[in-house]
Structure formats: C-alpha cells, structure tokens
Structure 1
Amino acid sequence: MKKIWAVLPVAMFMFSCNSEENNHDASGNFESDEVIVSSEQNGQLLSFTVQEGDSLSKGQVVGFIDSTNLVLQKQQVQATIQSLAEKTADVQPQVKLLNDQLAVQQSQLDHLINERDRYERLVKAEAATQKQLDDMNAQVDQAQKQMLVTEQQIKVQLNNTGTQNRSIMSESDPLRKQVAQINQQLSKANIVNPINGTVLAKYAEAGEITATGKALYKIADLSYLNLRAYITGVQLPQVKLGQQVKVMIDDSNGKYKTYDGTIIWISGKAEFTPKTIQTKDERANLVYAIKIKVKNDGYLKIGMYGEVKFETADKKQ
C-alpha cells in the first residue's frame, strides 16, 4: 500500500501535464511569406551589398549589374537617329532661287504690260499697227505662263522634298522606341529590393556572373508570421476566414506565451496528416491546412512550433 500511495502523486502529475499539453485545438509551425529576388539582367555583379540577416527597405538599391553593352547599344541607336537629320534635304535654297526667278519674271511681265498699254494707245492714235499690239499681247501671255510654271515648280519642290524628308524621319520612330527599350533594360541593371523585410538567404556574391531569372537572395517580412496548422474534418465547420484565435508557444519558463491570431486561409483540399503535426484527434488521417496570421514581437521565429485554441474565454468558462 505504501508503494501505491508513493506512485500515485507522480501519476497524477503526469496526467496533469499530458492534459495541459493536449489542451489545444490544432498545432503547426510558423512560416513567412518569402520573396525570392532574381536578376533581371545578364552580366557581372559589380556590386552586391546584401548580407543574411540584413533589414532592407522597399525600393532600396542593393546591387548593380554591369550594363556596358546596353550603354553602347543606346549610343549607337542615338547616333543613327542623329544621322537621319543629316540625310534630310533643305528645300529653302532651291525655293529661294525659284522665288528670285519668279520676281524677275514678275518684273518682266510688268514691263511688258506697260508696253502693251502703250501700244494700245498708239493703235488708237493710228501710230502703230494692230500686228505690233498683237505681238505685245502674245509676249504678255507668254510671260504669265512662265510665271505659272515657276510657281508650279516651287510647289513641286516643296512637296517632293517634304515627302523625302518625312520618309527619312519616319525611320526615327522605331529607333526612338529602341532607345526607350534600352533605357528600361538599363533601369533593371539596378537590383532594387521589392519589400520591407529581413534577408533570409543569399545566393550570389559580388563579382559573379549572373543571368536573367537567377536567384540572388530571399527576403521576408517578419513583422507578421503565419502559423500553418492542421485541423480535422470535424473541426472544419468551427473555423472561418477572419476568425480571431489564440496562438500559444512555449516560453523559457516552461509556460505558454499567448498571441492573438487571425485565420487568413483555409485549404479546400484534405491531405494526410504530416508526421510532425499533432491534431486534436490523433486518429485523424485526413486533415485540412489553415494559416493564422500573428503579429511578431521579435520572439517568434520561422519553423517554431505553435498551438492554436479556437475556444473563446466565454466558452472556457
């Protein structure tokens, strides 16, 4: 009897501990929304200042990829655009020459008209013959036709030169788009951090040759972590998106540290219970994954084990 009474308190204590350990509705591990930052350009990493554990800001430039080839391509295209302007014809000298010729023709026409008026007066005075007047009218008509030809030449010269210049300058539009495309590629030579967060892993070093799509580092915002837990089909009707729950983790004193959490995701498919996960019903083979968002006070770490309690304080009472 003495032996039995000696063992009884130990057995009660173990039962109490097991009961306390199982006093949760689900359990899982903390994870984060990770972003893998990759290179958007081919070339050598001229600079890359990222270190694991660094806290980076969104928009912060953390490295630079050699873009010498792109700069040379841009300069070549810009030189081609400039050469197009040199190929265009300047119509003004030719037009000026024709305008000067037209001015001379106008002066000659004015003189002929004066002569014709004089011959008309002489014919009326019977001091000149009708043939002389007719010859003068013919000269006036010929001078007027010459002026019309010169005016037409000016129009043709302007149209032809304008068409030729437009054809040449039309080649500049695709070239300017090439410059814009190269500028966009040059902007990608800067490695820009996409989010506020902490660097979890680094995959490259300064001086290495990188390529488009090659991973450079992994970063995550650790101000909030997600507890990925698993529930049974029986528990599934008890949870909903946006539901507030209690998340518990072990602290250094052997007690629980409690956090407020919000259910942000519920899997629509059942899966076999992971070996490392405990559920409220240990006999359950199929479970549903859920994610609970928890604000991190600096104590929570990725991979840390956590437990979830769906019951409210009112239900416990």
Structure 2
Amino acid sequence: MTFHDEFKGVHVKKKILLFGLCALSTGLAAAYWPWKTGGDSASELTLYGNMDIREVDLGFGVDGPIDQVLVEEGDRVEAGQTLAILEQDAFLDAVQAAEATLKLAEARLAEGVHGPRPQEIERGRATVQAAEAALANAALIHSRRVSLIDAHERAASREEADTTNAERLVAEADLKKAREDLALLLEGTRREQLDQQRAEVEAQRANLALLRYRLGRATLKAPTAGVIRTRILEPGAVVTANSPVFTLALTDPKWCRAYVNESDLGKIRLGLPARITTDSYPGKSYRGWVGYISPVAEFTPKAVETPELRTSLVYQARVYTCDPDQELRLGMPATVTLLLNGETRTPPASLSDYCKSP
C-alpha cells in the first residue's frame, strides 16, 4: 500500500467521524428542545406549583359562653352549615325588650299623628265654660265684699275682701289655662313633636335590628364550603367578639398556584385548558383552566438591563381545577400542563358550572 492510499483512508475516516458528530449534535438538540419548552411539543407548556392554601378564622363576632360545638377537625362543611352556638337566653331577652320599646314608641307616634279625639276637645270646651263660670262667681263675690266695705256697713272686713280678690285672680288664671289647653287641642300635635317621635321610632328600630343581628351572630355558620382544620374552643368557653373558634380551609373554588417565566407569558391566556397531575395519584389527571394571570412580576430586579435578567421574571398564575372526589389536598405539589393549542373557553360564572360542562 502506498503512502497516498494510506493518506486517503485516514481522510475518509475523518469525514465519517465528522458526520457522526454532526448527527449526534442534531439528535441532542432535538431531544433538548422539547425539554426546554416544557412539554413533549410546542403545543404544551409544563408548570410546577402547589394547590393553594387558603384559610379563614371563624368567630361569632359577639360575646358570650359557648353552648354547643357541632363539628370536629377534619369535617367537611357546606356553606351555611351550623358550626357552633352560644347560649341564647341573653340575646333573646334583649330582642324582646327592644320589640316592646319599639311598640311603645310607635304608639306614641300614632297618637301624635292622629291628634286629640273629639271627646277630648269637647272636654276642653267644658273646662273653659266651667272656668268662665267660676271666674264670674268669684268676681261677683269680690265685688259685693268691696261694696260692703265702701258703704261703711262694716258687714265685711278688709281681710275678707282680700280673700275674695285672691279667689277671683285664681279663677282668672284657671280660665286662661283652660283656654290655652283648648287651643292646643284644636291645633293638634306640633310638627317638631312629631319629628321627635318619628326619630325615636327610627332609633328603636335600629336598636332592634342590631340586637337581632347579634342574635343571629350567636349561631356560627360556615361562610363557604371547606374543611375544619382546627377546632380552637370547646363548649363552656367564654368568647369575645374577636375570639376565633375554628380555622376553616377553603376548598371551593380550588386552584393550583404556579409561576410562568416571562419568556412563556405570551403563550398563555385566560380560559386556556389545562391538566393537573400529582405524585399521589399517578396516571390520573384533573382538568382545569387558567383563571388568573398576575399583572405584576415576582422578584422584579432593581434594574432590568440584559435579556438574561428580563427572562428571569416570573408571573403567578392560578389554574382552577375540578376535584369531585376531593383528592387534591391544600398545599399538595402538582404539575400543570397547559394545552397551548386548546380551545380557549370563556371563564364561567363559577367553578361548579365549568365542572358540570363536558
């Protein structure tokens, strides 16, 4: 074999090696691209997050001793379900007293609006006539006593004349009072007095409404569906308005909180369909949809200057899901697969409406 043939063989081997390296690079790039885009193809985007934990502390909002506690930790409750009850006697007594006071105020207002009865007006006129007669008689008696003194008949003393004069003045005052009382009866109730009575009725109604509200708050009900996570107080405990009795974990609606890179933000939109999977139930997926995309980036750098810094930003997204068997626990890690080419659905009025749809 000549030198030329040996050189030619080495050259061919180098070409084959170079071609193999190119093929290997192409294969690695093809394998890397789906992993980098977060799915098996450009039609999916994979996110990682947790089932969002949302809790609320429940309390009565009024003071009193606890009479009954009706649920245990771990119990599932529905909206409006009774959870605990305070002793009711004090609240019921206060409501009854307020109802009686309101009736009294309403009666006084009705009396003022209708004014005096005809019989009362006739009685006022009769009182005036009696006062007029009494004044006439007193004036006549006093006049006689004075005439007797002036005639020097000594039939009456100065003291008797003074007494009859005082009686006449009293009769005049009684007549004046009787006439003024009659005028008030004829005029009816003053507008200012009616306004005062109406204000008193409104105040009593507001007080009754407040006491009825407090009576209603003496029964603690679940504001929404959820799971009793913590039972804090027991029967017999005296609570204040701010004392928590339960911690309720909210389960309706249920969503997974995940974060989207800024470079992928343009790929998602509200109503985009999704699948949620967990390690606890391998092979099972839960359907859902994107219901919220945060308008604010998390951990925004102080100065955004390079593409590397810009692409490090993340945005919170909520993917609502249907979980009829209540298998997804709050705080559970989950994998979200967004179907980028899926049909965008108009967000329903409620999650239950979406879960009922096919």
TM-score using structure 2 length: 0.54
Task: State the partner residue of 1:39.
Answer: 60
Q: Distance in 1 between matches of 2:279 and 2:239?
A: 43
Match of 1:187 among 201, 216, 224: 216
Q: Do residues 222 (structure 1) and 243 (structure 2) align? A: no
Task: State the partner residue of 2:240.
Answer: 211
Q: 1:36 to 1:264 in 2, by over 3 A?
A: farther
Deviation of residue 41 (structure 1)? 0.9
Match of 1:97 among 106, 123, 133: 123
Q: 1:176 to 1:259 in 2, by over 3 A?
A: closer
8 Å contact kept, 2:288–2:321: yes
Q: Which runs of 5+ in 2 are unaligned?
A: 1-30, 40-44, 131-175, 301-307, 343-358
Q: Do residues 271 (structure 1) and 298 (structure 2) align? A: yes
State, as a whole percentage, how many aligned pairs show the same letter: 21
> Matched residue of 2:275: which SS?
strand
- Aligned ranges for residues 43-54 of structure 1 at < 5 Å? 43-54=64-75
8 Å contact kept, 2:290–2:319: yes
Q: Do residues 288 (structure 1) and 315 (structure 2) align? A: yes
Task: State the partner residue of 2:227.
Answer: 198
Task: State the partner residue of 1:143.
Answer: none
Q: Distance in 2 between matches of 1:251 and 1:261?
A: 18
Q: Distance in 2 between matches of 1:183 and 1:58?
A: 21
Deviation of residue 263 (structure 1)? 0.9
Task: State the partner residue of 2:165.
Answer: none
> Matched residue of 1:240: which SS?
coil
Q: Distance in 2 between matches of 1:302 and 1:243?
A: 23
> Matched residue of 1:288: which SS?
strand
Q: Distance in 1 between matches of 2:316 and 2:88?
A: 46
Q: Distance in 2 between matches of 1:237 and 1:162?
A: 75
Deviation of residue 184 (structure 1)? 1.9
8 Å contact kept, 1:44–1:207: yes
> Matched residue of 2:255: which SS?
strand
Q: Distance in 2 between matches of 1:57 and 1:42?
A: 25
Q: Do residues 234 (structure 1) and 234 (structure 2) align? A: no
Q: Could you tell me which amino acid in structure 2 is paired with residue 301 of structure 1?
A: R
Q: Distance in 2 between matches of 1:231 and 1:166?
A: 67
Moved more, 93-102 or 292-301: 93-102
Q: Which has the higher contact order (CA 8 A, sep 6+)?
A: 1
Query: Which structure has greater strand proportion?
Result: 1
8 Å contact kept, 1:36–1:218: yes
Q: Could you tell me which amino acid in structure 2 is paired with residue 174 of structure 1?
A: A
- What RMSD in Å do the two structures reach over aligned CA positions? 4.2
Q: Could you tell me which amino acid in structure 2 is paired with residue 185 of structure 1?
A: R
Deviation of residue 247 (structure 1)? 1.8
- Aligned ranges for residues 57-68 of structure 1 at < 5 Å? 57-68=78-89
Aligned residues: 239
Q: Which runs of 5+ in 1 are unaligned?
A: 1-14, 105-148, 274-280
Deviation of residue 262 (structure 1)? 0.7
TM-score using structure 1 length: 0.60
Deviation of residue 296 (structure 1)? 0.9
> Matched residue of 1:215: which SS?
coil
Match of 2:284 among 253, 257, 268: 257
